[in-house]
Amino acid sequence: MEDFLNELNEEQRKAVLATDGPVLIIAGAGSGKTRTLTYRIAYLIKKQLAKPSEILAVTFTNKAAREMKERLTTLLGSQALPLWMGTFHSVCARILRTEAEHIGLSRNFTIYDVDDSVRALRKILSSKGLSPQKFNPKVVQSRISRLKNHFVLPENLLEQELDDEYDQIVAEVYQAYMAFLKKNEALDFDDLLIRPIQVFDDFPEIKAKYNKKFQYILVDEYQDTNHAQYLLLKRLVNERKNLCVVGDEDQSIYGWRGADIKNILNFNRDFPEARIFKLEENYRSHNNILQAANAVVRNNKSRLGKNLWTRKQDGPKIKLVVADDEADEALKVVEIIHDEMYTHKRSFKDIAILYRTNAQSRALEDQLRRNAISYTIIGGVKFYDRKEIKDVLAYLKVLVNPADSVALRRIINFPLRGVGETTVNKIERFAEMENITLFDALGRVEEVANISATMGSRVKQFYLMMKKFMELKDELNAVELASTLVSEAGIMHHYQTEYDQYESESRIENIKELFATMEQFTREREGEGRDSDLAAFLEEVSLMTDIDTWNESSNAVTLMTLHSAKGLEFPVVCITGLEMGLMPLQRTSADLKELEEERRLFYVGMTRAMESLYLTYAKYRRRYNAGTYNTPSLFLDEIPTELLEFKTRIAGTRGASRGKRKTERKAKLEAYFQNDDQNQDRSGEFFVGQKVYHETFGKGQIIQLEGSGDKMKITVHFGRDGITKKLIKKFANLTPLEEN
Ligand code: ATP
Ligand code: MG
């Protein structure tokens, strides 16, 4: 009956069979954590330990949820399981939408993305007369987000006397921002997580309902959950405590966004009865790749430590490729792709190119295009971030939630209908005085002072058109509604006439693509017997992550950031830009905790590779319009040289180094790592990448310089103790080492 359990190893099988009570599966990359979780769900259903509707599975991306669902369908041979499966955000949105009426929330609430939140904050800051120089809306947004994630509400802050003036003002802005969201019937991403927690605490009967519903809860990538997600899980788990979490502390890469590694490290403190399973066999990567990745991550201090092994062959060595600059690096990437295709019969889709920052993709894309290599890029300008798509979505958002003034402001004069900012501001003040929404105020434009009759009629016309479509909402399905509105509002016409032919065609194509996606969404949802209206579609779109728009079926090389690559695997992986300042990223390398997170990110990247891993590095790179000479990433030093192969040319070098003595190769590599004199700005005494000696901490390498003169701050990473220190030059007592 459970034949499929034979597709698991002994330890994985044990973890599947331990169905009752809390379970922690903690294991390294590629050891089958996600697979074990999937089989566990299949087992629960097949054994009838739970109905599909009693299972909640949380994945890190919507794409992962979709794949897990597909896998389950194959394992169980049944269609459309009524399983709750998705990201924390989508699960929360679903709970809130279901309970909306009971908790004083509109069922049609809008979800604000970070961009919408920043727009809202910009307005609030300016209405309070606060300068955007001192109070950068983006900074304030991330402060508020962090507070929310730690469950600190504005009233908690305002209760106490805050010493810091900045904090005091942030607290007030935070309060105004919450009021703004409420008035707009909008929730931001953080609200999606914390509102259900509040609901469960305030309405015990709602909590009881979900406790009864979810008999088994499973969470993948648990190492990247934040505090709010932890609190939510604690409430969702019922007295049976059937919670199974899987994760890898070495792959925790979202600390900068509030993820709390303690959630996984302290799991058995919360659940002392938890059973812990460790999976140690890696099924993904050739041995050389695994050994190299292990050697790198071993340098981190804060980890549980584990012994990951594979029965796979050693495979090729890891190829280290050195380029002159980013254009040359891109060219070498093209050579790698060609070489892999011709000598190893790979197709484009077998290959992934990873990088630390999105900006690095431009140079790569240029070369790929020039060489007619098809590629898909994840991130960058996302489909749903395109102007024409945002315009259409804003129309739809207003239809669903007329209180959403951020969306309304976007479309009120788009396409141009002669309703300027000044007019909108007048109407907005009227709305505030009357305590009505901006949309309702449009309907009463004749009462607003100082608005001409012509202007008034333009506004009214727009209002009546929107009103008409709101009334049609129940009669037409989502696609019909959207396509009629788009042509009636003149959006199609605008794109047909306002741009040159090429651009207008591509924008119209995109809008049609949006409708096609809506149609598919409606079909899928109806198949599952779930909401398929416009509100549901907009919710799905708001919760899309970069990776969710990835079309795997196309045969193309994949380009993405290291962060996006989490959980994925490819036969060939190439990690680019392995230079100090870029990987680890300068901003983050000053602090040991952050340096360790960068190292984990590198570990995540390396462990995506199944058969071949390439690491590239450019001696010179243009970033932010300025060029810098770079030293290799300190992480490269951490890979044992015997696992590395040094490459200057890609094609035609096959076998060239075979037979060469190891020492020779090593010498070459070491010579390479030594800085080339001309490549360094040595105007000052110290420079980034310089090797130095310190009496107490031993040998180190400079990773950042700030300020100048005696007060210059020098950040040094000391290899022996694995520590990073920020030292003041005057007192630093650093001696430059000969080997520079
Ligand atoms: P990550 O840490 O990157 O998320 P993971 O631990 O979730 O990795 P999976 O993605 O589940 O690992 O598995 C890695 C690869 O190994 C997949 O291709 C999977 O199908 C395969 N695999 C895992 N366990 C087994 C097994 N027992 N037999 C055969 N293949 C397996
Ligand atoms: Mg996984």
* DSSP secondary structure letters along 686-701: --TT-EEEETTTEEEE
Residue 402, preceding peptide bond in cis (omega within 30° of 0): no
CATH value of 383-546 in 1.10.150.20, 3.40.190.10, 1.10.486.10, 1.10.730.10? 1.10.486.10
- Whether residue 278 is annotated as binding a ligand: the answer is no
> Given the CA of residue 248, which atom of ligand 1 is nearest to it?
2
Alpha-carbon gap, residue 162 to 147, rounded angstroms:
15
Q: How far is the CA of 280 from the centre of ligand 1 (A)?
A: 11
- The per-residue DSSP string of 182-215 comes to HHTTEEEHHHHHHHHHHHHHH-HHHHHHHHHH-S
pTM surpassing 0.90?
no
DSSP string, 243-303: EEEEE-GGG---GGGTB-THHHHTHHHH-TT-EEEEE-B--SS-HHHHHHHHHHHTT-SSS
Q: Relative to the CA of 568, which ligand 1 atom is closest?
A: 3
Catalytic residue numbers read 33-34, 220-221, 251, 608
Amino acid at 149: N
* pLDDT cut 90: percent of the chain above it: 59
Distance 32 CA to ligand 2 centre (A): 7
pLDDT of 232 strictly over 60: yes
Kindly list the distances between the CA atom of residue 407 and the CA atoms of 132, 179, 290, 313, 399, in Å, as whole numbers in the listed order.
Answer: 22, 17, 49, 56, 10
SS3 169: helix
Q: Which two tokens stand for residue 304?
A: 């549980």
| Residue length of the chain | 740
Q: Is 29 in the pocket of ligand 1 (CB under 6 A)?
A: yes
Sketch the domain layout of the chain as residue ranges.
3-100+194-281, 110-184, 297-374+554-647, 383-546, 690-736
pLDDT tens digits along 322-350:
999 999 999 999 999 999 999 999 999 99
299: nearest Cα among 563, 29, 592: 592
Does 34 contact ligand 1 (Cβ within 6 A)? yes
Give mean pLDDT, residues 68-78: 89
* Nearest ligand, measured from the Cα of 604: 1
Q: What region does 526 belong to: left with phi over 0, alpha with psi -120 to 50, or beta?
A: alpha
Residue 206 has pLDDT above 90, yes or no: yes
> ipTM exceeding 0.90?
yes
Please tell me the number of Cα atoms within 13 Å of 199 on its side-chain side. Answer: 26
Determine the Cα angle at 444 with ends 128 and 402, to 5°.
70
In the reported structure, the alpha carbon of residue 570 is separated from the centroid of ligand 2 by a whole-number distance in angstroms of 13
- Range name among 187-196, 241-250, 666-675 with the lowest pLDDT average: 666-675
Express each pLDDT in 605-623 by its tens digit. 999 999 999 999 999 998 7
pLDDT band at residue 679, thresholds of 50, 70 and 90? Answer: very low
12 lines ligand 1 (CB under 6 A): yes
Please state the rounded mean pLDDT for residues 612-640: 89
CA dist., res. 98 & res. 501, Å (int): 45
- pLDDT of 590 reads 60
Q: Which residues contact 596 (CB under 8 A, 6 or more apart)?
A: 300, 301, 302
- Our measurement of the distance from residue 246's CA atom to the centroid of its chain's CA atoms, rounded to an integer in Å, reads 19
Q: What's the confidence (pLDDT) of residue 735?
A: 82
Whether the pLDDT of residue 305 is over 50: the answer is yes
**Do 3-100+194-281 and 297-374+554-647 agree at the fold level?**
yes
Instruction: Give the model confidence (pLDDT) of 4-42 as tens digits.
Output: 899 999 999 999 999 999 999 999 999 999 999 999 999
| Topology (CATH) of 297-374+554-647 | Rossmann fold (3.40.50)
Identify the DSSP state of 306.
-
The CATH architecture one would assign to domain 3-100+194-281 is 3-Layer(aba) Sandwich (3.40)
| Whole-number average pLDDT of the chain | 88
Query: For the residues 134-148, what does the mean pLDDT come to?
Result: 90
**CA torsion through residues 565, 566, 569, 573, sign:** positive
Q: Is the CB of 223 under 6 A from ligand 1?
A: no
Alpha carbon dihedral 702, 618, 662, 740, in 10-degree steps, equals: -30
pLDDT at 77 over 70: yes
Indicate the class that CATH gives domain 110-184: mainly alpha
Exposure string for 354-386, b = 16+ CB within 10 A, e = fewer: bbbebebbebbbebbeeeebebbbbbeeeebeb
Phi, psi dihedral angles at 645 (to 5 degrees): -125, 130
